[in-house]
Amino acid sequence: MALNAGIERESGAAPEAAHGEPRRDFLKILIGSTMAVGAAAVAWPFLDYLGSDADARAQGVVDVDVSPIAANSGITVRWRGKPVFVRRLTPKQLAAVQATPMKDLIDPASFASRVSPGGESWVVLVGLCPHRGCIPLGNKPSDPRGPYDGWLCPCHGAAFDAVGRVRRGPAERNLPVPPYRFASPTMIRIG
Amino acid sequence: MAMQPISAPERIETAPSAGFMQRQFLDYRVPVNLNAFWSFGLLVAFSLAVLTVTGIWLSLYYVPGPRQAFDSIQYILRNVPFGWLIRDLHLDGTTMLFGAVYIELFRGIYYGTYRNGRSAVWLLEVLRFFLLLCTGFFGFVMVFGAASYASLMIMAAHLGALGRILLAGYGVNPATMPRIETLHLLAGLLALGVAAVGFAASRAAGTANPDGIPAVGEADRIPLHPYYTMRALFALVVFMFIFAIIFTFQPNFAGLHEAAPGTPALALPIDPLPPWYMLGFHGLARAAGSFGFGTFLTILAFLLLAALPWLDRGTVASCRYRPSYRGFVWVLALDWILLSFGAALPPTHIATIICEAATIYFFLHFIIITPLVTGFGRTRPVPPRPGMRRFIRTEQV
Amino acid sequence: MRRLLVAALAAGFAAALVAPAHADQKRRDPLSHFQFQGLFGSYDKATLQKGFVVYQTDCASCHGLRLVHYRDLRGLGLNAQDVAGLAAGAKVPKAMGGNGKPKLIAATPDDRILSPLTPAQAAKRFNGAVPRDLSLAEAAHPGGARYIYSLLTGYRPAPDNMLMLPHHHFNTAASGMQTAMAPPLKAGSVTLANGKKLGTREMAHDVAEFLAWTADPSHDNRKSTGYGAMFFLLFLGILVYAARFTTRRERP
């Protein structure tokens, strides 16, 4: 109010010294805080709007019916714009991946950490090579699966085993496992 | 526009970045005698801010396409969090904006604010009005309901060869809606720019006042803050209250007939009415009878409005002190309402006669009445300084 | 009526805000009155749910709700399981498999509620008439829900001197007093949980309110938000007016 005060003195009036001053200060504070509350109430919908809309939210969760998948075969589904491999393993493949010693792995991960409890014969992986993001081969019957009976990246030759652990470079990490659970014995809910 | 309602802490007031706000909004000195009409600048600015922000938000989900436009708006309304709120604020914000803009124009004509070296301010105000109407029209088309489609086709017919450029062809095609959207943004941004320049021009020329005489003396002006800030804030709260009433009870007050998508539209709606703020121009076109003449009359209306500083031949600016012209200004306002009313009626013989009569009077006002009445009409003594009207009256008694 | 109000601008403003209460009609036929249209009115969840059942029973075989997803039905007060069950009961065409041809499979809650008929199929079945999508049917007519109620209850035997179009039905509310839609509501086709069967007038009322909801699902939110804003502004307005009063008193 420094400048204002000067001008007011010039024009011969001194409202600052007038009566009712404490009341107006209180009013000003009350008005200011009321307006702040109002501004916050208006800001909230505008921020919420920028979050996801209903269709985008719907894409975040995908249900996959796994009953038609035969042992030793897989399907590719789309989840949040990425390919997701779902493969059913044979008992022989399960025994092989369980028998692999941890010291042989580039990115050590136990068998149990790669599958969902109760659905151990199912492997669910995000099908993007951790090296440069190519889609590894091995999900179609005609595809090569590489030396470890899993997936083989066509770009730089990274090889993965049957639960998606990297066994040969250049990739340094395993194929990621998306969050999923069995909604029913034949239905996987990814997301 | 969140003007500081309370005196900010000393620290902020003395900061260099606050200098502009300090000079333009707190210490800026305005005439002592402003009345409620002078709150409308703030109300226009507030409406523009609401429309700009909600418009940006809506553009995040809007898809310009012959079919997608309509569906994407429905998607915003139904499936985007608070999409209905933001769309309705944008829709009803136009009603609030044009309400304030029309009242501001009336203020200009009534109090002669285009006088006393403010003709540039007035020209910018008319240009802003024109750009806002263009923005409003393109926005109305963007909804792409059945009435939007009809209005677009009618506008294309009015514009002739330009209409083909507007449509990107002979009818609505995939290239049409992107350019409508671009034109909406372009006209809107230009309007914002013109509004900003107009604000600067108004500040440079000095704020007008209801007495229509320059407020140059130190005692004729008082600081904006605190004398007008609380008053402006009160006007803003009342304005927002009316906004809330329209939003709550008549969200479709602007008259968007969006119950059916625009294409395929071989069958037009029975009454492709534009929003209320365009009805007057709709009336001019209806009175004209042909597309070409309608375009001519609309352009002429804007030119005459812009030419008001030169059509006004009087020595007195404010209608407070020219009683004979004052009556004609009120009649002009009623004439515009009548024209809008006639344009909203079903296309009957009576409606056409109403539009024709109102159109003739409208042009008569600017071409004949204004120069004559302002030049030769009765005037009353003007106070020596702004805000001394009461003093004059006592003297007369 | 509305166009007059729009043109009258400020003068008609207050009147335009509140839909005129048709007191006469209300007394004659209480079902033609819609409580949600009142100043403080909101949709009645039970009515909406009954209306949806009527839609499913007597409308959905021809008409779709293109703009409504199954998930949106949670706005009627249904829970996620109800919605999933409803969706699973409907078949929607989806491009699946290698040949790219759409196949009819069970819908998910994120699918839209579509008409089972393509326009070509409908035109063939109904002699050229294509049932319109009902998402915005209530908003399409100035009469709104009341119009839908009148249309659904407006079927009468055609007067002898009336020239009827082929395959049309006499209806007092339809434009031209006739419509290609056969009387859709069958009395007793909807049974409530308590065993009570709905009459056609009750069905018409409930489905009209349901279609008002499909046309404007944010109606209740808008009213509560609007009232909240008004109370807030009233409070702020009183404060600002008081502050303005003290400022004015001190003016030089």
Which residues of C fall within a CB distance of 8 Å from B345?
3, 7
Compute the distance between CA of residue C211 and CA of residue C47 in angstroms, rounded to an integer. 11
- Residue A62 C-alpha, separation from nearest chain B C-alpha, in angstroms: 19
**Quick check: C15 contacting B, CB < 8 Å?**
no
Extract the tokens encoding C198: 């709905």
| Residue of B27, B36, B92 lying closest to B238 (CA atoms) | B36
Task: Please say if the pLDDT value at position C251 is more than 50.
Answer: yes
Between CA C59 and CA C52 the distance in angstroms is 10
Under a CB-based contact definition with an 8 Å cutoff, are residues C31 and C205 in contact? yes
Distance CA B324, CA B320 (A): 10
**Tally of CA atoms within 13 A in the half-sphere of A73 that contains its CB:** 10
B232: which 2 tokens? 């402006």
Chain B neighbors of C229, CB-CB under 8 A: 240, 244, 247-248
Query: pLDDT at position C29, please?
Result: 80
**CA A109 – CA A164 distance, rounded (Å):** 10
Please answer whether residues B281 and B298 qualify as being in contact, where contact means their C-beta atoms are separated by less than 8 angstroms: yes
- Taking a contact as any Cβ pair under 8 Å apart, which residues of chain C between 141 and 180 contact chain A? none
* Cα–Cα distance for residue pair C203/C224, rounded to 1 Å: 28
> Residue A186: pLDDT band by 50, 70, 90 thresholds?
confident
Q: Which pLDDT value is given to residue B12?
A: 52
Closest CA to B308 of B75, B129, B159, B49: B129
CB pairs under 8 A between A and C: 46
Checking if the pLDDT of C231 tops 90, the result is: yes
Assess contact for C44 and C35: CB atoms under 8 A: yes
Beta-carbon separation of A7 and B85 below 8 A: no
Name C236's Cβ contacts closer than 8 Å, sequence gap at least 6.
A31, A34, A35, A38, B237
Among B27, B57, B222, the residue with its CB nearest the CB of A46 is B57
- Over the Cα atoms of chain C, what is R_g? 23
C151-181 residue pLDDT tens: 999 898 888 888 888 888 999 988 888 888 8
Q: Which two tokens stand for residue C172?
A: 């007092």
Cα separation of B278 and B274, whole Å?
6
The predicted model gives C192-210 an average pLDDT of: 87
CB B213 within 8 A of CB B385: yes
Residues of B in contact with C4 (CB under 8 A): 341, 344
CB-based contact B386:B220 (threshold 8 Å): yes
Question: Residue A185: is the preceding peptide bond cis (ω within 30°)?
Answer: no
Which one of A27, A140, A189 makes the best mutation probe of the C interface by having the most chain C beta carbons within 10 Å? Answer: A27
Phi-psi region of B390 (alpha: psi -120 to 50; beta: other; left: phi over 0): alpha
Contact assignment for B86 to A54 by CB distance below 8 Å: no
Cβ atoms of residues C212 and C141 within 8 Å:
no
Please, is A86 exposed, middle or buried when counting C-beta atoms within 10 Å of its C-beta (0-12, 13-18, 19+)? buried
**What CA–CA distance (Å, rounded) separates A182 from A118?**
9
For residue A25, what pLDDT is reported?
80
Q: How far is CA C140 from the centre of its chain?
A: 10
Strand ranges for C62-202 from DSSP E: 65-69, 91-95, 102-106, 112-113, 169-170, 178-179
Instruction: Pick the residue from chain B with its C-alpha nearest to A6.
Output: B27
> How far is residue A51's CA from residue A11's CA, in Å, rounded to a whole number?
54
In angstroms, the CA C8 to CA B368 distance is 27
Shortest Cα–Cα distance, A5 to chain B (Å):
10
pLDDT tens per residue, range C89-122: 888 776 554 455 666 778 888 888 988 888 888 8
C16, C136, C247: residue with CB nearest B250: C16
> Please, what is the average pLDDT of chain C?
82
At C189, the pLDDT band (50, 70, 90 cuts) reads confident
Q: Is C247 on the interface with A (CB under 8 A)?
A: yes
How many residues appear in chain C?
252
Rounded distance between C-alpha atoms, residue A175 and residue A87, angstroms = 13
Residues of A in contact with C240 (CB under 8 A): 31
Express each pLDDT in A110-143 by its tens digit: 777 888 887 778 888 888 888 888 888 888 778 7
Q: Tell me the pLDDT of chain B (397 aa) as tens digits.
A: 444 455 545 545 555 566 777 777 778 888 988 889 999 999 999 999 999 999 999 999 999 988 889 999 999 999 999 999 999 999 999 999 999 999 999 999 999 999 988 999 999 999 999 999 999 999 999 988 888 888 888 888 888 888 899 998 888 888 999 999 999 999 999 999 999 999 999 988 989 999 989 888 888 888 888 788 888 999 999 999 999 999 999 888 876 657 777 654 445 555 678 889 999 999 999 899 888 899 999 999 999 999 999 999 988 999 999 999 999 999 999 999 999 999 988 888 999 999 999 999 999 999 999 999 999 988 998 888 888 876 665 544 4
Q: Which residues contact B204 (CB under 8 A, 6 or more apart)?
A: none
Determine whether the interchain pair C236/A23 forms a contact, defined as Cβ–Cβ distance below 8 Å.
no
Strands (E) located in A4-69 = 62-65
- How confident is the model at residue C99, as a pLDDT? 52
Nearest to residue C219, comparing CAs of B58, B144, B78? B78
Kindly report the nearest CA distance between residue A67 and chain C, in angstroms: 16
Please give the Cα distance from B239 to A180 (Å, whole number).
52
Please give the Cα distance from B271 to B145 (Å, whole number): 13
- Please name which of C205, C185, C63 lies closest in space to residue C134, comparing C-alpha atoms: C63
pLDDT given for residue C109 in this prediction: 86
Instruction: Judge contact between C184 and C59, C-beta under 8 A.
Output: yes
Place of tokens 């095609």: B173
B177-213 residue pLDDT tens: 999 999 999 999 999 999 999 999 998 898 999 998 9
Q: What is the pLDDT of residue A13?
A: 43
CB contact at 8 A, B231 and C242? no
The predicted model gives C185-204 an average pLDDT of 84
- Chain A, chain B: beta-carbon pairs less than 8 Å apart: 67
Look at residue C24 in the predicted model and tell me its pLDDT: 55
Whole-number pLDDT of residue B394: 52
Beta partners for A82? Answer: A79
- Return d(Cα C182, Cα B356) in angstroms, integer: 46
Contact A24 C246 (CB under 8 A): yes
The per-residue pLDDT for B325 is: 94
Q: What is the DSSP letter of C64?
A: -
pLDDT of residue B280: 94
Greater pLDDT, A185 or B318: B318
Q: Are A64 and A182 in contact (CB under 8 A)?
A: no
DSSP summary character for residue C37: G
pLDDT tens for C14-59 read 444 444 444 555 567 888 888 888 888 999 999 999 999 999 888 8
Residues 104-123 of C with CB under 8 A from A: 108-110
Phi/psi at A78 (nearest 5 deg)?
Answer: -100, 130
